[in-house]
Every structure is written in C-alpha cells, then in structure tokens.
Amino acid sequence: MEEINEKETSTNQELTCNTCAAILKYKPGTTSLVCEYCGANNEIITESDAPIEEIDFEDFIANKLQDEEKIDIVTVKCTSCGASSTLKPNLTSDQCPFCGVSIVVTNGSTSSILKPKSLLPFKIEQKVAAESFRTWISKLWFAPSNLKKYVTGTDTLVGMYIPYWTYDSNTDSNYTGERGTHYYVTETYEKTENGKTVTETRQVQKTSWASVSGNVDVNFDDVLIIASNSLPVKYTEKLEPWDLENLVPFNDMYLSGFKTESYQVDIKTGFDNAKVKIDSKIKEVVISDIGGDEQRVHSVNTSYNDITFKHILLPLWISAYRYNDKAYRFLVNARTGEVQGERPYSWIKITLFILMIIAIIAGIVYFAKYR
C-alpha cells in the first residue's frame, strides 16, 4: 500500500497516484485515496495527533485574525445563484452543484481564506447516497409523475464540503417577567330550558399574575452555524445532528475528488447568527425558571463568556436540477444518509385529491341524509 505524507501535498482538489500518476479520489469511510486505474490504495498519513482545538473568539478577533494561516483557493462563481465553489482543474465548463445551471469557467478567481482546522470526511459513498435519495423521492406525496427521470442517475449527486462554524459559550442572563397562576371562581348564569329560565353555576378559569425576576446560567457547546449562503438553512439544519465528536484534523487529501465551497459568512457574523439560536434556548430556560401555569417574559439581558469557535468542513451529497425552469436542490448528509430538500408539486394530483375528498364528504352526507 502506497503512503502519502501530508507534508508532501499542497491544498488542491486533485492528487496523483504514487504508482501510476493517475488522479486519486478519497474513498468515503476510509483513510485512503483510491486509484481508479491501477487500484492502488494510497494511505493518508497525518503526522499530527493533536486534539481538535477550540479557539478563543475574543483573542482571535483582537490579535490573530490577520496572522492566522490561510489557504489559496481558485473558485468560480455561478451567475445564477451566486454560489462560489471549487472546480476540477482543466475544465472549461461544468454544472453548478447548487442550482444545476451550466457555468463556464471564465470568471474563476483566486482568494485567500482562513484554513479550516478540522473536518468530517465523507463516510457514505455516492451509490448509497443515491439510493437514500431515490427512496426519499419515491415517498414524496403529490410529486410530478415524470420527476424520477430527473434523478435516476447517481451522476446527479455531487460531493461537496460545506464550511461551518461551531461556537461554545457560557452565558449568564438576568430576566424580568410575570408568572401566571390559574385559579377558579364560581359564576352564576341563566339559560332557557323547556321554555323556562333556569339559573346554574359553572367554574371559570382565571389567571393571577405576579412580577418576577431572576438569573439563569446556560452553557452551550458546538452551536453549529453554516458559513454558506448557497443552501437553505431550513434544510441544512434538518440534516443535523452531525457526529462532531469524530472530527479529524484538516488534511486536504480528504478533499481529493470532491468540491469545496468557500465560506461566505465570516466569523463575527457567524457568532451573531449563533446568538439567535442561543437566545432562543435561553428563553426556553427562562420560561421554565419562571414556573407557574403561564409565563410572560419582558426582558432578558445576556452576557456571553468564554467564547470559543472552530472552523470546520462538513460533507454533503448535493443534487441540483431544473424542473419547469426552476432549480430544486436535494441534500444528503454524507455521514448519516439523512435526506432533505426542495421538491416540485403536481397541481393536477393535488386538484384530483381535493376533488376526491369533496366527493367522499358529499357521499357521506348523502347517505347520512337519505339512508
């Protein structure tokens, strides 16, 4: 088995076989680059066994941002959806993995970006992801009948490494609000019964409100924020959870044979996005801390302490195609096989279904009335 040493490579998307010099591709689920021509397994050797580093956020912003190690990448920007991704060398055209539009590689640009510190390698191979994808497609309600012909081939799935930030923070929050406690009172009311007015009583729920204030401490670990604007967040979040405990130190050999998107969300903006998630969870804790039967939250003032972050790459299989001149994207978590995505609807099927429901209801009413 041939060995490739990390020090002998540069950051790129294509590496060559030590046996026959053919292009190598990383084999998902292994630590090898496999040659498709001679069959040689070129083992990835990473000398560093250091733990995945959590970087101090405030210190990095103040003192290290400009000096941090960077990598030079060549990307091409899609004129349709705006996504910027790496492409294979020597190509003059390709298909955008994010929207399916053909792109001509004439506007490629070189940029320096912060080098990721760690990544999750691809674990699921393309054919397995494609099968999960087809299973998901087959279960879609009201999908157009000819949809499957657009997704029959595995070549529509593109392996992409997507940039993410993760943030840790200890939080301290002071809050004010109100606690509502239910109680019941007996009310008297009149109603007409058999032509006569009668008086009856009933129990009516009331709420007593009391002002409250307090403090909650919540610690957050690995709040995950996508650093890309190319994919819908509502779908990428549904691909979670990721097995971040299996992150490995960054090694560009894992990228060989796959595309990589450069980050579009910087580290500061990423933490602003993380605070939205953090604050939502803190509000849940505040509501629980207020107690009672109902709660009103008036204010929450939070301090974020001991903030750390990681810059990582996570693997996705992405399929993009155009159906009736509209782009639809499908995402497969390349670690778990979870599938999420956009899909077209057949309004003919939906209309027929509604008409069928109306017919069934009409039939039930008819038989109930004339039986």
Residue 366 domain-assigned (yes or no): no
Please say if the pLDDT value at position 312 is more than 90.
yes
How many angstroms separate the CA atoms of 236 and 227, rounded? 11
308 in the same domain as 235: yes
158 in the same domain as 12: no
Residue 199 domain-assigned (yes or no): no
pLDDT score of 12 = 43
pLDDT tens profile 96-144: 666 666 565 555 555 556 788 899 999 999 889 888 877 777 776 766 6
Least confident of 16-20, 92-96, 216-220: 92-96
Which one has a higher pLDDT value, 275 or 14?
Answer: 275
Residue 301 domain-assigned (yes or no): yes
Mean pLDDT confidence for 277-289: 97
Torsion angle in degrees (nearest 10) through CA of 340, 34, 262, 73: -160
Residue range(s) defining the domain that contains residue 4 = 1-47
Least confident of 37-51, 55-69, 246-260, 356-370: 37-51
Residue 183 domain-assigned (yes or no): no
Model confidence at 252, pLDDT cuts 50, 70, 90, reads confident
Domain count, the chain: 2
Please say if the pLDDT value at position 88 is more than 70.
no
38 in the same domain as 109: no
Q: Are 152 and 306 in contact (CB under 8 A)?
A: no
243 in the same domain as 99: yes
Candidates 52, 8, 53; CA nearest to 33 is 8
162 in the same domain as 241: yes
pLDDT score of 63 = 84
Which one has a higher pLDDT value, 11 or 258?
Answer: 258
Residue 209 domain-assigned (yes or no): no
Please say if the pLDDT value at position 234 is more than 80.
yes
238 in the same domain as 286: yes
How many angstroms separate the CA atoms of 34 and 155, rounded? 19
249 in the same domain as 162: yes
pLDDT score of 3 = 35
Model confidence at 86, pLDDT cuts 50, 70, 90, reads low
13 in the same domain as 60: no
Q: Are 60 and 309 in contact (CB under 8 A)?
A: yes
Residue 190 domain-assigned (yes or no): no
Residue 296 domain-assigned (yes or no): yes
pTM: 0.77
**β-pair type (118-119, 294-323):** parallel
Model confidence at 211, pLDDT cuts 50, 70, 90, reads very high
42 in the same domain as 68: no
Please say if the pLDDT value at position 256 is more than 90.
no
Q: For residues 11-22, b (16+ Cβ closer than 10 Å) or e, as one string? A: ebbebbbeeeee
151 in the same domain as 8: no
Contacts of 259 (CB under 8 A, 6+ apart): 13, 85, 86, 87, 97, 158, 159, 160, 161
Residue 371 domain-assigned (yes or no): no
pLDDT score of 204 = 94
36 in the same domain as 156: no
34 in the same domain as 52: no
Q: DSSP 3-state assignment of 230? A: coil
**Positive or negative, the Cα torsion across 289, 292, 293, 298?**
negative
